[in-house]
Every structure is written in C-alpha cells, then in structure tokens.
Amino acid sequence: MNNDFKKQFQDEDFILYRLPRVAREVSRLCTHEYDVAFGMKVPDWRVLAMIGRFGNISAKTLSDKMAIDQVAVSRSVHRCVTSGLVREDVNPQDRRGKVLMLTPSGEKFLDRFYPHACALALRIESGLTKAEVKTLKSLLYKLDTHLQSVPRATPEKQRTRRGR
C-alpha cells in the first residue's frame, strides 16, 4: 500500500474525515436544540425554513435545494402537513403536481423559530473570529459550487474499482 495514501487517512485534517465529522456535530447540536425547544426533527425545520424562504415550492425542488433524498423530504412534508404547518395545493403550472406553502400556523412557527436558529448559529460561529466566519462561509460556498461539477463514478467504474 502506498504510504502517502495511508498517511492521508491517518491525518485528522483529511477532508473526507473532517467535513463529515463537523457536519455530524452541527447536526447533533441542531437535533438536540430543536427537539428540546420545538419537539421537531432537523429535516422538518429545514423543510419549513425552505418553504418560508422560497414560498410555493414543490417537494422535488425542496429535495434538490436541500440536497436530501425525496423520500426524506416526503416524510418531513407529511409531518409538517399533519401538524398543520404546511399545506399542499395543486400546482397551477402543472396540475399533476403539488406545491407546498406555509399555513398561518407555519408562519407563526417560523417567527418563533428564526431567532432561536440565528442564536444557535451565532453560538456555533462564536469559536471563530468575524473574519474567519466570513472566510469559512466563502470557502464552503466555493467548495459546494465546485462539488456540483465533480464527475461522479459510474456503476461500471465502481465495480471495476472494487475488483469485481
């Protein structure tokens, strides 16, 4: 085995280790905070926040914007509809589809939720200077944009790489 590759995997700063670890820690913190404060799962508040941000939106578009699979979005939408925070209407542009929108209860929920979420974001960012926060956000945006163009392995290549 090439020792250079092995060393990369032993490095705590290896991007394939560090990014998922940080994401899990943020997710754990959000999960705890929003469960305690609102009795809500992370995907549910993300669905509500995205509907609040973009207005009438389809579940498919939500899935794309949130980078979450459609099944998870569908479950969250179902919980939000059942709890009366979101309603589904027929899409006026495509009568076969549905659009999601906040109910008055959903709008009131977001009015309570936004300050809490912003305070949590500030707590997370408080370990960094203002310049570091700005740099981090810029780099995350740049990396996210770049990742949209990174070629994905095809199933044939995956099988070949695994020695099949």
User: For position 1, what pLDDT does the model report?
Assistant: 59
State the DSSP code for 152.
P
Tell me the sheet residues that pair with 87: 101
Q: Are residues 67 and 118 in the same domain?
A: yes
Between residues 1 and 42, the one the model is more confident about: 42
Q: Are residues 111 and 137 in the same domain?
A: no
Distance between CA atoms of residues 36 and 80, nearest Å: 18
Domain containing residue 30: CATH number: 1.10.10.10
Q: Are residues 119 and 77 in the same domain?
A: yes
At 48-98, the pLDDT tens digits run 999 999 988 988 899 988 888 889 999 999 999 999 999 998 877 777 778
Q: Are residues 42 and 83 in the same domain?
A: yes
Angle at 16 between CA 14 and CA 22, to 5 degrees: 90
Q: Which two tokens stand for residue 104?
A: 């008055």
Q: Helix, strand or coil for residue 151?
A: coil
User: For position 114, what pLDDT does the model report?
Assistant: 93
Q: Are residues 93 and 138 in the same domain?
A: no
What per-residue string of b and e applies to 79-88 under the rule 16 or more CB within 10 Å gives b? bbeebebbbb
Which range of residues forms the domain containing residue 155?
130-164
Evaluate whether 98 touches 89 at the Cβ level (below 8 Å): yes
User: For position 159, what pLDDT does the model report?
Assistant: 57
Between residues 13 and 72, the one the model is more confident about: 72
Q: What is the mean pLDDT of residues 121-128?
A: 96
Q: Are residues 12 and 38 in the same domain?
A: yes
Q: Are residues 118 and 139 in the same domain?
A: no
Distance between CA atoms of residues 56 and 90, nearest Å: 11
Distance between CA atoms of residues 13 and 30, nearest Å: 23
Amino acid at 10: Q
Share of the chain above pLDDT 90, in %: 60
Q: Give the chain's mean pLDDT.
A: 88
Sign of CA dihedral 65, 70, 75, 79: positive
Q: Are residues 57 and 86 in the same domain?
A: yes
Distance between CA atoms of residues 77 and 86, nearest Å: 7
At 100-116, the pLDDT tens digits run 999 999 999 999 999 99
The count of domains in the chain is 2
